[in-house]
Chains A and B, each alone.
Chain A
Amino acid sequence: MSDATLPDTATPRPVPFRGGGFRPVAKRGVGLAVFVVLLLVIEWGTRAGWIGNLTLPRPSDVGAALVELYQSGMLWTHLGPSLARLAVGSLLGISAGIGVGVLIGLFSYIRAGLVPLVAALFPIPKIALLPLFVIWFGIDEGSKYALIALGTFTPTVVSTYGAVDNVDRALVRMGQSFGLGWWSIVRKIILPGALPGILSGLRVSLAIGIILLVAAEMLGAEHGIGAYVLQAGSLYDLERLFAGVVILSALGVVTSWVIGLVEKRLLRWRG
Chain B
Amino acid sequence: MDLTLANITHHYSGLPVLQDISLHIPAGQILCIVGPSGCGKSTLLRLIGGLERPDEGDVLQLGAPPPDCLNPLTYVFQDFALLPWRTVRGNISLVLEDHGLKGAEAERIISDVLARTNLSDFGKALPRQLSGGMKQRVAIARALAVNPAAMLLDEPLSALDAQTRELLMEDLLALWARQPFTGIYVTHNLSEAVRLGHSIAVLSRRPGRIREVITIDTPPPDRRAGDARLDEVQAHLWSLMRDEAKAADQELLNV
Contacts and interface: CB of A to CB of B under 8 A. Distances in A.
Task: Answer whether A and B touch in the complex at a CB cut-off of 8 Å.
Answer: yes
Interface of A: 168, 170-171, 173-181, 184, 188-189, 192-193, 195, 267-271
B71 interface: yes
Contact of B51 (A168, A176, A180, A268): A176
CB-CB nearest 10 A-B residue pairs: A174-B81, A269-B85, A178-B95, A177-B75, A192-B85, A180-B98, A271-B128, A179-B71, A170-B81, A269-B84
A173 B152 CA distance: 13
A176 B50 CA distance: 9
B85 A177 contact: no
Given A179-B98, A192-B85, A271-B128, 13 more contacts: A173-B81, A176-B51, A178-B71, A178-B95, A178-B98, A178-B146, A179-B99, A180-B95, A181-B98, A188-B97, A267-B85, A269-B86, A269-B128
Interface in B55-102: 70-71, 73-75, 77, 79, 81, 83-86, 94-95, 97-99
16 contacts: A170-B79, A171-B83, A173-B77, A177-B75, A178-B95, A179-B98, A179-B99, A181-B98, A188-B83, A188-B94, A193-B83, A195-B85, A267-B85, A269-B86, A269-B128, A270-B84
Nearest to A179: B71
Name B's interface SS: loop
B85 A171 contact: no
B71 A174 contact: no
A93 B36 CA distance: 52
Interface string B111-143: 000000000000000111100000000000010
Nearest to B75: A177
Contact of B75 (A174, A180, A268): A174
A171 B128 CA distance: 15
Contacts of A171: 81, 83
Contacts of B84: 269-270
B45 to A, nearest CB: 10
A178 B74 contact: yes
B151 to A, nearest CB: 11
B49 interface: yes
A268 to B, nearest CB: 8
A203 B127 CA distance: 27
B150 to A, nearest CB: 12
Contacts of B75: 174, 177
Contacts of B128: 269-271
Nearest to A269: B85
Nearest to A188: B94
Given A178-B146, A270-B128, A170 B77 contact: yes
Contacts of A271: 126, 128-129
A269 B81 contact: no
Contacts of A179: 70-71, 95, 98-99
Nearest to A183: B98
B71 A173 contact: no
Contacts of B94: 175, 178, 180, 188
Contact of A177 (B49, B70, B79): B49
Quick one: which of A168, A184, A188, A269 has the most chain B CB within 10 A? Answer: A269
Contacts of B71: 177-179
A268 B87 CA distance: 11
A181 B97 CA distance: 10
Nearest to A171: B81
